Structure 1
Amino acid sequence: MTPNQVCDRVSSNPQVILLDVRTKGEFEGTRGGKYGRLKNAINIPVQDLIARIGELSPYKDREIIVICSHSRRSPRASFMLNQRGFKHVKNMLWGMSQWQQKANKSCGKKLWEKTF
């Protein structure tokens, strides 16, 4: 999904789960690229995903959009979720590094939080 599609989807369906698989430092803006984060996103780093999969069990039948910084880790996390029975998993293209450039300006600003 493109950032614009993510914006549209979250705006039209508040039940969508945003899963950010960056490290805690990246998510909080204390390490790595300071790209901000999306409001209400759940942060589970990809390296912890299998160990913490139970935290996502309540959302197994909901749409989950997986996000990282450059769309390198999110496809792997999406694959892991699909392999464990999550049925409606999508990956956001380009990652948070491109959110401000690629997302619709009005929607993008509503969903985005600065973390630094």
Structure 2
Amino acid sequence: MRPITDNEVTVEDLAERLRGDDGLVVLDVREPWEVELCHIGGSLHIPLGQLPTAVAALPRDRDIAVLCHHGMRSAHATQWLRTQGFDRAINLAGGIDAWARRIDPTMKVY
């Protein structure tokens, strides 16, 4: 991934990464009702409020792209994950909304 900053990546770069099979984990921290509306296939869903108790389920040896609706909750999650030793966590700039608008226009926006 070519980061926007040390902690962010564009939806275009994430889409490019997902076309390959390099072990990237996509972590969706939105609420269940949001994931029901739309999601990136194959992503791991852990709502932000449950992240502290579910963090052990995440791999420390792989890149983790974190997403939410617009990128604010996932930015907080990315920052928190990095304080927990997940140095390869990176935020998806613009979140699922940017993904739907620029990568998958068939995806529902909300």
Question: Any residues of structure 2 matched to 1:76-115 within 5 Å, and which?
Answer: 76-103=76-103, 108=104
Q: Deviation at 1:4?
A: 0.6
Question: Any residues of structure 2 matched to 1:47-66 within 5 Å, and which?
Answer: 47-56=49-58, 59-66=59-66
Number of equivalenced pairs:
100
- How high is the sequence identity, in percent, across the aligned residues? 28
State the secondary structure of the residue aligned to 1:49.
helix
**2:3: which partner in 1?**
none
Please point out which of 2, 8, 11 is paired with 2:10.
2
Q: Deviations over 1:10-41 (max 9, x none)?
A: 21234100000001111112xxxxxx110110
Partners of 1:39 and 1:113 within 8 A in 2: no
Taking only aligned residues, the RMSD between alpha carbons, in angstroms, comes to 1.8
In structure 1, how many angstroms separate the alpha carbons of the residues matched to 2:50 and 2:100?
27
Q: Deviation at 1:113?
A: 6.7
Long gaps (5+) in structure 2: 1-8
Q: Which has the higher contact order (CA 8 A, sep 6+)?
A: 1
Cα distance change, pair 113–39 in 1 and its aligned pair in 2 (3 A): farther
In structure 2, how many angstroms separate the alpha carbons of the residues matched to 1:100 and 1:55?
27
Code of the aligned partner of 1:101 = R
Which aligned segments of 4 or more residues in structure 1 are displaced greater than 4 angstroms?
none
Long gaps (5+) in structure 1: 30-35
